[in-house]
Structure 1
Amino acid sequence: MKYVFVFLEIFSWEGGIQSYVKDILQAYAKIVTQTRNNPQNYLDPARVLLLRDSPGCDNPFEGNPALKFYYLKTLPPWVGRLKLAIALLLQLLFRRPQRVFCGHINLAPLVRNFCKILRISYTVLTYGKEVWEPLPPRYRQALQDADSIWTISRYSRDLACAANDLDPQKFELLPCAIDGKRFIPGEKPPELLDRYGLRGARVLMTVARLWSGDIYKGVDVTIRALPAIAQQFPDVKYLAIGRGDDQRRLAKMAQDLGVSDRVVFAGFVPTEELPDHYRVADAYIMPSREGFGIVYMEAMASGIPVLSGNDDGSAEPLQDGKLGWRVPYRDPDAVARACIEILQGGDRRCDGTWLRQETLTAFGTDAFTRRMQQLLGVSR
C-alpha cells in the first residue's frame, strides 16, 4: 500500500499540529516495521512532502526507511508552492498511491484538484480551530469532496460540520497521543521550587500562550478564582507557564485582586523542561475551550489531577469527566469550588497512579498506533 503525505511544515515550527503530525509519522513508521513480513498488508515507505521545511532541519525521522522526505521550502514563497504542486503531481502520476493525506486545510484545494482528476482517494487531516469557522468555497469544497476527514475529537468534528456543511459520517477520530516515557510522576524538583518560590506551597499550574487573542485559555479566570481558593488553602500559589502580550493585563488583575504574591509567571519553558515542571504541580488548571487539550494528558500521565472547561474537546482526554473536573470555562466560582475539591483530595480523580494508567491505556503511543492501523485497514 502506497501513501503520500503533504504538510505545510513539521520541523521548523513548534505547535499542537506539528506535535500531532509527528505522532502520525512515528506511528506509520512503527506499522511499516510491524507489517514488513506480511505481504498482504505491507506498507510501502511513505513519501512526505514539506512546503516550508528545509534540508538540514531538525528531523528525528531522517534516515528512517519507512519515510522519505521532500523538502520544498524556496524563496520567494510562490516558487515553493509551485515546487510542491509539481512534486505532488509527479508522485500521483508515477507512483499511483492508494491515498493522499493532506495535512492542512490550506493545502486541501491543491490536493483535491489533482486527486479528483486522477481518481485517487484523499484524506484531510484537521486539528482544531482552523476548520471551526465557515471556510471560503474552495476550501469547503475540498473537505466535502474528501473520501474521509481525520480529526482529534468529537468537539472538533461537530464544529467543523456545523460551520462547513460536512457529513459527520466522513469523519474518523484519531485522538492525540501522549508519550508515557517522557511524562512520568515524581518528586517535586527542588531547583524549580526554589526558582519560582514555591517551597511549602500547594501549586496550581497552567501551560498556555499568554496572548490577548487567546484569553479562552482561562488564565484570567483562574486568577479570579484564587481569593476564594486561598480562604481554604492559604498556602496556594498559581504557576502560569507561557509568554505573550496578555501577561501585563493578567499581572494587573492579580494585583487588583490582592493575589499578586500568589501568581508566578514563569515565562517560556523549553519543551524538554516541561515534564519536570508538571511534577511541581498539585493540580493542572485550565478552564479553556480546546479542540482536544494534550496538556491535560501530559499532566495526567505525570500523575497530576486536572480541571478543564466543560464545553470543548477536553471531554476526550478527561473521558467525559471520569478522569478530571470539567466546569463552565468562564466561571471563576466554579473553578474555585473544583480547585478546592482537588486540593482536599479523597476523590479517585486525585489518584495519580490510576490517572496515569487510565490515560496511557486510552491515549498512549501504543493505543495511537493501533488506531492508525485500524484507519489504514492494516493487520499485524
Structure 2
Amino acid sequence: MRHLFVFLELFAREGGIQSYVKDVLQAYSQGAKQDDHRGTVALLHDRPPSVNPLVSDRLSFTYLHHRSSLIQRLRLAFYLLRICLLSRPERVICGHVKLAPLVQLICNPLGIPYLVMTYGKEVWGVWEHLSPWEINALRGAARIWTISRHSRDRLCASHDIPQAQVDFLPCVVDETQFTPGPKPPHLLDRYNLHGAAVLMTVARLWPEDIYKGVDVTIQALPEIAAAMPTVKYLVIGRGGDQPRLAQLAAEAGVSDRVVFAGFVPTAELPDHYRVADAYVMPSQEGFGIVYLEAMVTGIPVLSGLGDGSADPLQDGRVGWQVEHRNVSAIAQGCIAMLQGDDPRCRGEWLRAEAIAKFGKSQLAQRLQDLLT
C-alpha cells in the first residue's frame, strides 16, 4: 500500500464534498492502473453501503461507524496506528481538517508525510475558529490540497500558511453523464412546467446553508416575473429550511412560481438540468460543482461574487457573477439568462469551455502529478 486516505464520510450524507471525494478516489483508481499502486480508504462515520462502486483491486475500504462518537474516534486512532506501523504507507491523505491533528500525531513520530484536503464551507464557517492543534496540523502538513484560488487565499490569510504549500485539485464534471437534451416530458408533467421559463437551483436546504441563496432568488422572482411572465423556479434539495423558504415565497406572492422538488437521486439529476433554462445559485462557494453540471448540459449559470465560483465561471467569462445578497442584481442576471441574447447563453460553447478546463478525464492526471 502506498497511500492511506482518511475521510469523515462518503455515503452517510450527500453533498458536493462527498461527490468531489468520490471523483478523486475514482481518479486515483484510474491512475493506479498506470502506476501499480494501491490505496486504502478509512471512513469514520460510514457503515458499509449496499453497493460501493469505488471498490477495486487498487482501492479498498474500511468502515469505522459506531453509534458512539467516542468509540468511532478510538476505532480510527487504533486503525491508523496499526496500519501505519504494519503497512508503512508512503503518504497519508487526510480528508478533513478535523481529522488532521490525529493524523499528525500518528504520522510524525513514524516519519510518514501527510497531506490535508480542504474544500470551501469550512473556510468561512469554521477555519476562523480552529483549535491550535488543527492549525498546527495544517501548518505541519507536507502539502495542502484545495479546490479553488479563493479557498487557498482564505486559508493562507487566516492562518499564516505560505501559498507555496498549497496545491490545486479542482472539482471536475462528468461530461458523459451531464449532456444537453430536450426537456423531459415526464418532468414537465411532474412539476407543472409546460410553457414555463425555468430557473433551477440544486442545493441543501439546511438552515446553516442559507448562503446558498435560495431565499434571495425567491425574493427576486417578482422583478423577474415582471420581465418574464412565465418564469418558474425549481428548487432541488431537502432540509429543515424549506418551511421558511416556502413562507418567504408566500410573503412575496410567488408561491405558484416556486416548485420544491425535494431530494432527487443522482441518476435523475441530468434530466432535471435539461428541464432548466438557466441555473441560479448566488452563493458563497468553495468551488461549486453544480455550475459545471449546468454548463455541460448547455444552460447558462449565475453565481455569487468573490468566492470560489470564480474558477468554474472563469472570472465571469462563462457566466454571471453577482453580489450574492443583492436581490436586484440577481433578478437582472436571471432575466438576461432567460432572454438568451448574451454570448454566455450559447449552450454548445458553454459545454466546450467547461469540458476543456474541468472535464473529468483531467482529474486522474492532475492527481497523479500531485502524488508523484
Superposition CA RMSD, Å: 1.7
- The question of 1:46 aligning with 2:39 is answered yes
Q: Which residue identity lines up with residue 209 of structure 1 in the other structure?
A: R
Q: Which residue identity lines up with residue 131 of structure 2 in the other structure?
A: P
Aligned to 2:313: 318
Aligned to 1:32: 32
- The question of 1:7 aligning with 2:18 is answered no
Deviation of 1:179 (Å): 1.0
3-state SS, counterpart of residue 349 of structure 2: helix
Higher mean C-alpha displacement, 6-15 vs 98-107: 6-15
CA deviation profile, 1:92-126 (whole Å, cap 9, x unmatched)? 22332221101111211111011111111110011
Higher mean C-alpha displacement, 326-335 vs 268-277: 268-277
Deviation of 1:57 (Å): 4.3
CA distance in 2, matches of 1:2, 1:109: 21
Deviation of 1:230 (Å): 1.5
Structure 2 spans left out of the alignment, 5+ residues: none
Q: Structure 1 residues 57, 84: closer, same or farther in 2, change over 3 A?
A: farther
When the two structures are superposed, what TM-score results if normalisation uses the length of structure 1?
Answer: 0.92
CA distance in 2, matches of 1:13, 1:244: 12
Deviation of 1:75 (Å): 4.8
- The question of 1:80 aligning with 2:75 is answered no
Aligned to 1:135: 130
CA distance in 2, matches of 1:229, 1:115: 55
Deviation of 1:284 (Å): 0.2
Alpha-carbon contact 2:11-2:49 (below 8 Å) kept: no
Alpha-carbon contact 1:218-1:286 (below 8 Å) kept: yes
Alpha-carbon contact 1:9-1:53 (below 8 Å) kept: yes
CA distance in 2, matches of 1:70, 1:100: 15
Aligned to 1:369: 364
Q: Structure 1 residues 339, 75: closer, same or farther in 2, change over 3 A?
A: closer
Aligned to 1:179: 174
CA distance in 2, matches of 1:252, 1:50: 38
Higher mean C-alpha displacement, 358-367 vs 1-10: 1-10
Aligned to 1:295: 290
Q: Structure 1 residues 258, 171: closer, same or farther in 2, change over 3 A?
A: same
CA deviation profile, 1:221-259 (whole Å, cap 9, x unmatched)? 112212222222111111112223332332232223222
Q: Structure 1 residues 134, 169: closer, same or farther in 2, change over 3 A?
A: farther
CA distance in 1, matches of 2:206, 2:267: 22
Aligned to 1:147: 142
CA distance in 1, matches of 2:79, 2:69: 15
When the two structures are superposed, what TM-score results if normalisation uses the length of structure 2?
Answer: 0.94
Structure 1 spans left out of the alignment, 5+ residues: 36-41
Deviation of 1:315 (Å): 0.5
Percent of aligned positions that are identical: 59
Q: Structure 1 residues 22, 239: closer, same or farther in 2, change over 3 A?
A: same
- 1:276-291 equivalences under 5 Å are 276-291=271-286
CA distance in 2, matches of 1:53, 1:283: 35
3-state SS, counterpart of residue 321 of structure 1: coil
Q: Structure 1 residues 338, 87: closer, same or farther in 2, change over 3 A?
A: same
